[in-house]
């Protein structure tokens, strides 16, 4: 019979081959009943069954040998009916989407008893049977659980439907030959080996050492490829899987197969070292297996060794293809179809040793583990006045040791890029530790990279450092080797976001690449995702190791990114503080003040500590204005900063010098000017959020009336809202994202434990949706509402329908808790509690929602390593700004007639220090305030995270309703 909505749908053209007249007739009867298909054409050797969405052809090819194999297969499977899951016994199965599984079961029950139903016989969601030829055939009610085409995300527009399945075209042949079976199981979507016309296939693999963030990277690549109309594949076990090939190692993935991967550490698709791939014969097999799977492009997430192999693979591809054709391993059609293989690299490495990129996937997660461990060690070291030697990873790169040294105020670090003779490093270390101890420091932390060497290439081990500290300084010393703790665990927010954005860009890169395009490597420079030449990046990376082994340490350092050199110089300057003679002559030494304005944010104390210690090393005198402008105006709260009093500030949250939201005009700008004049400040650094931005504007505009403000002034943005104009990054945002991410991971786990549960999480951020948008990207939230968009009733209705569809799709699977993130100012009417009630009511029993409010937990506890190290970097740049602009404004301080506040050179001395794209830039406060700021909304006019928001929505298949 023909119906408007067919019982089964999804695979539109299938061929089943029978090898005897008896099995041929039985197969026709079986498929007619099971799938309720109608005879279209029939003769002695061929029968076509169809409905409006499916066409199934049954062929008769008499062959006694294959018939015997078929009968043996049928007997083996039916004998395991009550003891084994058939899906685990076969290499593949054919599965259709059914509108009514129970109806399919009733059709078979009368004549066939070889049926397996899941989860129960009474209420089946999936049904499997063995046809007379010995094939496992199934129908499923679970949306997209198994499909013969990649599962697409919901369309960006349109109405919600959940009953009629897709009828995407595909062609599949089932026969007793196992090589022609479609690889499927309960969780991995199978796909046809034949290509849909014009459809590309993108594969992803992880290789080398695992790194936190690889799973989010794979998730982003798979879902972006599907969203762009491609088939998505994963190569299991790295290059090992490429060499072995077959459906066990090269699997087609669906949208649902990577659900929940954002919050999982390691790599779920596996990684392995593969010696065979280093030989041409292994790469030849890899090429053959990719062609057999129909793969057009390969994205490799790994370190320099893995990416070197990938680029070699691409360069050899034409000759590998020719050899496969000459040996008849591939057909002429395949030779023509797969003339070119596009390859792209994303760097997954905890060492952060890849040139041309500021950060590699997993590096900041590893650094987070190290800093947490050292923070804990510092506590016990302080109790016993001990020294600790901490060994961290980094065979040819000292990035982890260097950044950990900055983030934890370590006394000394040993890295491979800057070795010295055995006598020199021992003397230097002992000198610094002695000076620190003599000034009252009770703890000593020395960080050793595993690749640390002396300049004669002699390795420096933690035991060597331990011996020196014990023998020469008589310190009670312990050694801690962190080992693989640095590599494990889930990724921090930065790595989840970095891996996701790079995954999206990697798919764009391979789809846009031509045969003449060099293989790209996806990098990040400051705050911008960029494409670099893969081969050049790998070459530069290997050159560093070669220079070190050749004892050309100057060249090795020059080959490192400028940011690495900058961080090293910063560490040495901050570490010396006032313990060594000042670098600047007396006439260049300045009085520089620092003040915190606004709510506390992670990294604020790090900025104060770094500014003060760097000033001391230069010869400047650092002052702190305690408790903001009101503290200054009311209590003259100015104190010079002392090194010993600041011990431990680098790793503390909050604000040690106090902060509030009061602006100079609110506090009494005249009194503020009086104290500036009294203390003769030569420069001012403000650390804070939008109130700090307004404060800098008020001080700059008051210069005409108050000569005391005619000094260089710079703002370091510090707010979890990240709403300060002139920057795409503010101190505290990374700490807040980590705190919110951890909270959401726990809430999501709770939601997953309760069937059909979603949580509405209240997110801070004022009128800025930055925190909610990036948190949604990091945790895979299904929906996020931000002030920039608000909450329309149409969008809310659409989101509820999409959530219901998502829960239906997830039935029977784990990781099915859902999150809805709502910025506090996204709606004054829809509070989290009201929103949860509305969603629960409108869901009509499909699921329910609860509210969750993390509150000030989002301000974080201990600042993250990113906020600590960036605070140090920005604070030192701010001091440099004050040094560089003394001459420009010095003559204007006392001469009112000569002073012109509108002069561009003068106005440039009051600036916001921010990160814009791939640059660190100083922007005039006058330009920003007058032309680039929505004052009433406390927001910049340009929303720099808008593209990130679009990606966050697309990766969860959120349907957006056009604003009317």
SS3 content of the chain, % helix, strand, coil (to 5): 45, 20, 40
Long-range contacts of 509-515 (CB under 8 A, 24+ apart): 509/344, 510/202, 510/297, 510/298, 510/299, 510/342, 510/343, 510/344, 511/200, 511/202, 511/228, 511/230, 511/297, 511/342, 513/297, 513/342, 513/344, 515/339, 515/340
Say whether 187 counts as a known binding-site residue.
no
Distances (CA, A) of 677 to 659, 680, 681, 711, 948: 22, 5, 7, 11, 46
Say whether 765 counts as a known binding-site residue.
yes
Say whether 209 counts as a known binding-site residue.
yes
Q: Is 897 strand, coil or helix?
A: coil
Say whether 856 counts as a known binding-site residue.
yes
Say whether 857 counts as a known binding-site residue.
yes
Instruction: Check: CB of residue 704 under 8 Å from CB of residue 899.
Output: yes
Say whether 539 counts as a known binding-site residue.
no
Say whether 393 counts as a known binding-site residue.
yes
Say whether 304 counts as a known binding-site residue.
yes
Say whether 273 counts as a known binding-site residue.
yes
Say whether 343 counts as a known binding-site residue.
no
| String of DSSP letters for 535-586 | HHHHHHHHHHHHHHHTT-HHHHHHHS-HHHHHHHHHHHHHHHTTSS--SS-G
Say whether 487 counts as a known binding-site residue.
yes
Which of 49, 53, 50, 57 lies closest to 11 in space, CA to CA? 53
Instruction: Check: CB of residue 445 under 8 Å from CB of residue 386.
Output: no
Beta-sheet strand order (sheet of 387-392): 412-414, 444-449, 387-392, 477-481
Instruction: Check: CB of residue 659 under 8 Å from CB of residue 732.
Output: no
Instruction: Check: CB of residue 341 under 8 Å from CB of residue 379.
Output: no
Say whether 395 counts as a known binding-site residue.
yes
Say whether 764 counts as a known binding-site residue.
yes
Say whether 138 counts as a known binding-site residue.
no
Say whether 886 counts as a known binding-site residue.
no
Say whether 82 counts as a known binding-site residue.
no
Say whether 867 counts as a known binding-site residue.
no
Q: Which residues contact 842 (CB under 8 A, 6 or more apart)?
A: 797, 800
Phi, psi of 393 (to 5 degrees): -70, 165
Say whether 837 counts as a known binding-site residue.
no
Say whether 374 counts as a known binding-site residue.
no
Distances (CA, A) of 705 to 74, 186, 386, 709, 896: 96, 75, 55, 9, 9
Say whether 486 counts as a known binding-site residue.
yes
Q: Which residues pair with 622 in a beta bridge?
A: 592
Say whether 306 counts as a known binding-site residue.
yes
Say whether 926 counts as a known binding-site residue.
no
Say whether 305 counts as a known binding-site residue.
yes
Helix (H) / strand (E) element for 655: namely none
The CA distance from 292 to 194, in Å, is 10
Phi, psi of 610 (to 5 degrees): -70, -40
Say whether 274 counts as a known binding-site residue.
yes
| String of DSSP letters for 594-643 | EEEESS--TTHHHHHHHHHHHHHHHT-EEEEETTHHHHHHHH--EEE--T
Instruction: Check: CB of residue 890 under 8 Å from CB of residue 682.
Output: no
The CA distance from 676 to 646, in Å, is 23
Q: Which two tokens stand for residue 171?
A: 């062609």
Question: What DSSP designation does 262 have?
Answer: G
Say whether 396 counts as a known binding-site residue.
no
Say whether 576 counts as a known binding-site residue.
no
Query: Looking at the annotation, which residues are catalytic?
Result: 351
The CA distance from 870 to 874, in Å, is 6
Say whether 121 counts as a known binding-site residue.
no
Say whether 661 counts as a known binding-site residue.
yes
Say whether 371 counts as a known binding-site residue.
no
Binding-site positions for beta-D-fructose 2,6-bisphosphate: 661, 719-723, 757, 764-766, 850, 856-859, 938
Binding-site positions for Mg(2+): 304
Binding-site positions for substrate: 349-351, 386, 393-395, 450, 478, 484-487
Binding-site positions: 209, 273-274, 303-306, 349-351, 386, 393-395, 450, 478, 484-487, 661, 719-723, 757, 764-766, 850, 856-859, 938
Binding-site positions for ATP: 209, 273-274, 303-306
């Amino acid at each position: 019979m023909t119906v408007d909505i067919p019982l089964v749908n999804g695979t539109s053209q299938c061929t089943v081959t029978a090898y005897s007249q008896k099995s041929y007739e039985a197969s026709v009867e079986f498929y007619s009943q099971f799938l309720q298909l109608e005879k279209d054409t029939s003769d002695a050797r061929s029968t076509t069954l169809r409905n409006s969405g499916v066409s199934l052809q049954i062929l008769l090819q008499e062959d006694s040998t294959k018939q015997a194999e078929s009968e043996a297969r049928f007997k083996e499977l039916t004998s395991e009916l009550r003891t084994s899951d058939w899906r685990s016994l076969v290499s593949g199965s054919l599965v259709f989407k059914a509108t009514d599984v129970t109806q399919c079961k009733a059709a078979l029950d009368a004549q066939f008893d070889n049926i397996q139903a899941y989860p129960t016989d009474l209420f089946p969601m999936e049904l499997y049977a063995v046809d007379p030829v010995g094939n496992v055939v199934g129908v499923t009610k679970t949306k997209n659980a198994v499909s013969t085409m990649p599962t697409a995300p919901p369309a960006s527009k349109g109405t919600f439907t959940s009953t009629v399945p897709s009828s995407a075209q595909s062609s599949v042949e089932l026969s007793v030959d196992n090589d022609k079976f479609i690889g499927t199981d309960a969780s991995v979507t199978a796909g046809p080996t034949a290509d849909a016309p014009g459809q590309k296939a993108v594969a992803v693999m992880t290789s080398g050492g695992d790194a936190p963030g690889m799973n989010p990277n794979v998730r982003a690549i798979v879902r972006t490829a599907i969203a762009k109309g491609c088939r998505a594949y994963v190569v299991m076990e790295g290059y090992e899987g490429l060499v072995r090939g077959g459906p066990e190692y090269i699997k087609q993935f669906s949208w649902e197969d990577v659900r929940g991967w954002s919050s999982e550490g390691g790599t779920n698709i596996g990684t392995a070292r593969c010696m065979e791939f280093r030989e041409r014969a292994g790469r030849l097999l890899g090429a053959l297996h990719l062609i057999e799977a129909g793969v057009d492009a390969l994205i490799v997430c790994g370190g320099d060794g893995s990416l070197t192999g990938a680029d070699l693979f691409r360069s050899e591809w034409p000759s590998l293809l020719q050899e496969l054709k000459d040996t008849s391993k591939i057909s002429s059609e395949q030779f023509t179809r797969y003339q070119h293989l596009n390859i792209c690299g994303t760097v997954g490495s905890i060492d952060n040793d890849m040139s041309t990129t500021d950060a590699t996937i997993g590096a900041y997660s590893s650094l987070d583990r190290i800093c947490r461990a050292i923070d804990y060690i510092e506590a016990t070291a302080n109790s016993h006045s001990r020294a600790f030697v901490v060994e961290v990873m980094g065979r040819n790169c000292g990035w982890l040791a260097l950044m950990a040294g900055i983030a934890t105020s370590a006394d000394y670090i040993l890295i491979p890029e800057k070795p010295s003779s055995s006598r020199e490093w021992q003397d230097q270390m002992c000198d610094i530790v002695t000076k620190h101890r003599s000034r009252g420091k009770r703890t000593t932390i020395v960080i050793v990279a595993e690749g640390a060497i002396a300049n004669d290439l002699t390795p420096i081990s933690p035991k060597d450092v331990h011996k020196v500290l014990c023998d020469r300084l008589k310190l009670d010393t312990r050694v801690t080797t962190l080992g693989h703790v640095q590599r494990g665990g889930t990724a921090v927010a930065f790595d989840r976001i970095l891996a996701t954005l790079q995954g999206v860009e990697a798919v764009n890169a391979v789809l846009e690449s031509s045969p003449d395009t060099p293989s790209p490597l996806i990098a990040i420079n400051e705050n911008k995702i960029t494409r670099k030449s893969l081969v050049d990046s790998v070459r530069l990376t290997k050159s560093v190791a070669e220079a070190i082994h050749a004892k050309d340490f100057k060249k090795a350092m020059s080959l490192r990114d400028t940011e690495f050199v900058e961080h090293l110089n910063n560490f040495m300057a901050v570490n010396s503080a006032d313990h060594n003679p000042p670098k600047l002559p007396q006439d260049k030494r300045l009085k520089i003040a620092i003040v915190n304005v606004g709510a506390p944010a992670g990294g604020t104390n790090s900025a104060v500590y770094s500014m003060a210690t760097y000033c001391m090393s230069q010869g400047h005198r650092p002052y702190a204005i305690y408790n903001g402008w009101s503290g200054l105006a009311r209590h003259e709260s100015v104190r010079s900063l002392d090194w010993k009093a600041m011990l431990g500030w680098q790793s503390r949250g909050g604000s040690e010098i106090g902060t509030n939201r009061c602006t100079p005009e609110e506090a009494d700008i005249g009194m503020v000017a009086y104290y500036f004049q009294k203390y003769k400040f030569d420069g001012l650094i403000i650390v804070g959020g939008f109130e700090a931005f307004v404060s800098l504007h008020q001080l700059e505009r008051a210069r005409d009336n108050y000569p005391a403000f005619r000094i260089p002034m710079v703002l370091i943005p510090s707010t979890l809202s990240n709403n300060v104009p002139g920057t795409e990054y503010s101190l505290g945002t990374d700490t807040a994202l980590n705190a919110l991410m951890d909270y959401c991971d726990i809430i999501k786990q709770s939601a997953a434990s309760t069937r059909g549960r979603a949580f509405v999480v209240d997110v801070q951020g004022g009128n800025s949706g930055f925190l909610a948008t990036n948190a949604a990207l990091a945790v895979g939230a299904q929906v996020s509402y931000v002030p920039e968009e608000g909450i329309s009733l149409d969008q809310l209705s659409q989101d509820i329908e999409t959530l219901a569809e998502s829960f239906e799709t997830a039935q029977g699977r784990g990781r099915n808790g859902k999150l809805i993130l709502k910025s506090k100012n996204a709606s004054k009417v829809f509070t989290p509690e009201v929103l949860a009630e509305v969603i629960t009511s409108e869901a009509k029993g499909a699921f329910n929602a609860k509210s969750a409010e993390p509150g000030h937990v989002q301000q974080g506890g201990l600042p993250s390593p990113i906020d600590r190290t960036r605070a140090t970097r920005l604070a030192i740049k701010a001091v440099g700004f004050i040094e560089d602009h003394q001459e420009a404004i010095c003559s204007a301080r006392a001469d009112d007639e000569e002073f012109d506040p509108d002069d561009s050179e003068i106005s440039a001395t009051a600036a916001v220090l921010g990160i814009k794209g791939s640059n660190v830039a100083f922007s005039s406060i006058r330009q920003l305030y007058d032309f680039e700021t929505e004052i009433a909304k406390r927001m910049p006019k340009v929303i720099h995270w808008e593209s990130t928001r679009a990606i966050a929505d697309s990766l969860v298949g959120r349907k957006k309703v056009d604003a009317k």
